[in-house]
Amino acid sequence: MTSGTRVAPFGLKPWFSERVWGKSDLKPWFDETGTTKLVGEAWLTGPQCLVQSGPFKGRTLASVGEKMGGEFPLLVKILFPADKLSVQVHPDDAQARAMGETRGKTECWYVLEAEPGATVALGLKAGVGAKEVAASVESGTLELLLEHVPVSVGDMLFVDAGTVHAIGPGVVLLETQQTSDVTYRLYDYGRPRELHLEKGLQVIKSKTQAGKVAPREMAGFTRLIEQRYFVVDRFEISATRKRTVDFAGAGCLVGLAGSGVVRTPDGELELIPGRTVVVPMGDGDVVVETKAGVTFARCVAPV
């Protein structure tokens, strides 16, 4: 966000996105979704998420952004696949603008849950390009051309724009990405959904920087990933402690385990699994306190 009216941190209500590959039960992350349909994604900082505290309570994040000088730069979600997602690809900024979109979509996945043997598809095998992808879509064999990466709880994976990828069941992922929903679906296992093969073939890259990212221990937290569009860190605060968490850019805190509170000029904000506290301007610190211990992610858009 660019400069605008200074606004204290605030809580957001998750928005649940119905998907054919989703789940009907998102426990223990969420007790209720407000729908009986399958939910695949909980958008934690979506434009349509409602502010739950402060002077903008009841407003959407998108409308608050207009008041503060710009769109919130990160879209943070939790993904709940019960079935395979489509094989898809996202454009980079230049490719997206050339196709009339605002920006591209670079993202990362932090593994919150993983069943034994769980994998994600991330990138194409050596020697595979657009021609081979097109032929494999026609023959229904695209999955055979993908690199399948084993994952376990605590893994961080970078999904560079242009990377052909797919997520399967057996995982729950915290996704941090550019605020964009530009997705080109290449293959969908015969499900009756629209494909975007022509655009997708234009933006796929045979080689990208996608892959697992090794964590780095910092002063009091763990850096999970540091990229152009986002930095994601994990904090673990033990019982009866408080911690000052700084922000060098607009961002948010996402509760992962335990419980705590974030102290703001407007009062206390609850920090529990699946809930988000937005720090809109990124020019100050927030204080997190806990009585029984809390683990959370700090997701920041670097300035």
Give residue limits of the domains in the chain: 10-213, 216-300
Known catalytic residue at 6: no
What's the first-to-final CA gap in the chain, in angstroms? 9
CA-to-CA dists, residue 231 to 59, 102, 107, 219, 249, angstroms: 27, 21, 11, 15, 10
Residue range 216-300 in CATH 1.10.10.10? no
165 is in an annotated binding site: yes
Q: What is the pLDDT of residue 282?
A: 59
* H or E stretch covering 271: strand 267-271
Residues 6+ apart with CB under 8 A from 127: none
Residue whose structure tokens are 């703001």: 264
Q: Do you know the residue count of the chain?
A: 303
Which two structure tokens, joined as six digits, stand for 94? 């230049």
Q: What is the pLDDT of residue 65?
A: 78
Q: What is the pLDDT of residue 285?
A: 86
The two domains 10-213 and 216-300 share their CATH topology (first three levels equal): yes
Residue whose structure tokens are 């763990």: 222
Asked if 248 and 300 count as a contact pair (C-beta separation under 8 A), the reply is yes
**Side chain identity, residue 145:** L
**Cα 164 to chain centroid, rounded:** 17
Asked if 118 and 171 count as a contact pair (C-beta separation under 8 A), the reply is yes
* H or E stretch covering 297: strand 294-300
* Alpha carbon distance 12, 33 (integer Å): 15
Asked if 223 and 263 count as a contact pair (C-beta separation under 8 A), the reply is no
107 is in an annotated binding site: yes
Asked if 83 and 21 count as a contact pair (C-beta separation under 8 A), the reply is yes
Residues 6+ apart with CB under 8 A from 66: none
* Alpha carbon distance 184, 195 (integer Å): 7
Asked if 299 and 232 count as a contact pair (C-beta separation under 8 A), the reply is yes
Q: Which CATH class is domain 10-213?
A: mainly beta
Q: What is the pLDDT of residue 249?
A: 85
**Cα 193 to chain centroid, rounded:** 23
Q: For the chain, 303 residues long, give each residue's pLDDT as a single digit of tens.
A: 445 556 889 999 999 999 999 999 999 999 999 999 999 999 999 999 999 988 899 999 999 877 766 889 999 999 999 999 999 999 999 999 999 999 999 999 999 999 999 999 999 999 999 999 999 999 999 999 999 999 999 999 999 999 999 999 999 999 999 999 899 999 999 889 999 999 999 999 999 999 999 999 999 999 999 999 999 999 999 988 899 999 988 899 999 999 999 998 778 999 999 999 999 875 568 999 999 999 999 999 998
- Between β-strands 156-159 and 184-187, what pairing exists: parallel, antiparallel or unpaired? unpaired
Q: What is the pLDDT of residue 97?
A: 96
Residues 6+ apart with CB under 8 A from 98: none
196 is in an annotated binding site: no
Residue whose structure tokens are 């395979």: 84
Per annotation, catalytic residue among 19, 185, 234, 298: 185
Specify the pTM.
0.95
Residue whose structure tokens are 């673990």: 236
